[in-house]
Structure 1
Amino acid sequence: MRKTIVASVAILAVAATLASCGSSSRGGVFNRARPDEMAVSRAQPLVVPPDFALTTPKPGAARPQEVDASTQALQAMFGGPSARSAAETGAIDQAGGARAQAGIRSEAGDPGTTVVDKGSTTRDIVAAPVGDGQGARATTPN
């Protein structure tokens, strides 16, 4: 008797599973809307815009719409140059910013550039070994 009940429950489960695969009054799986492959339309023809005032490109010149990646990154991060404040403009004017030489940064590291000797302390600081400071010692002069 028990085997008969188990078998009938199994048959009902299989029948219910198979019944859900068929079509129903709501449309079912096989009656869904599909795109019509025969309903293809033609694309509109290309037209030349009426603005003929464009300048012709010069051979070898850089394209105006092309910007290198580093410039694009700087524009994205910082938004381009901003106006200087009154305090910043005043400080630059007092320092002689209008009289600065064009290549001064290149000349600063030149061996022929005259520099002021700051003494051995500055040389020691600049020549200090790189590290986390674990081996640092302090001495007091006598």
Structure 2
Amino acid sequence: MTGLSSRIVCVILGVVLAGSMSACANPKKSLGLERDVPDEYSVVPRAPLALPPDFAMRPPKPGAPRPQEVSSRDHARSLVTGSRGDHRDTASSGETSFMRLAGTNRADPDIRFIVNRESSILAEESRSFTDRLVFWRKAEEPGTAVDPEAEARRIRENQALGRPATEGRTPVIERKQRGLLEGIL
């Protein structure tokens, strides 16, 4: 009888479970087997919060410094010293002497130009083998090149004949025309 009673209990539990699950609209969702993903089309944006106008404030004058912005020099100084305001008020004597020895008061205003010049020199020196192999020819300089020997000869002839030095055609160096595949191969 124990085997029959256990079967009856299992059948009754199955019927009760099936009945309770049939009352649910989505059994997987009820058991936690399905994810609940938000619908991106049902999200409604909210209007931004607005503050009432402050009539005591005046619009800024063109070219005037903004009161909420800190100059880059003061910002850098505060990063180095760890202070939030003027470094003279919060810096210790050691920090002040360190800043003086570091030369913060002698900053070069043309430092960007110097760094750009030095980095362009380094970039030119560090041309790799493949760059030299691929770009083996120097680019032709723009404009026309004057033939110095022929120009000197033309000026001497004009002086000997009593004519102005600017008279006559200026001799130029004719550049050789490159072939269609000359730069590729």
Q: Which has the higher contact order (CA 8 A, sep 6+)?
A: 2
Larger % of helix: which? 2
TM-score by length of 2: 0.26
- TM-score of the pair, normalised by structure 1: 0.32
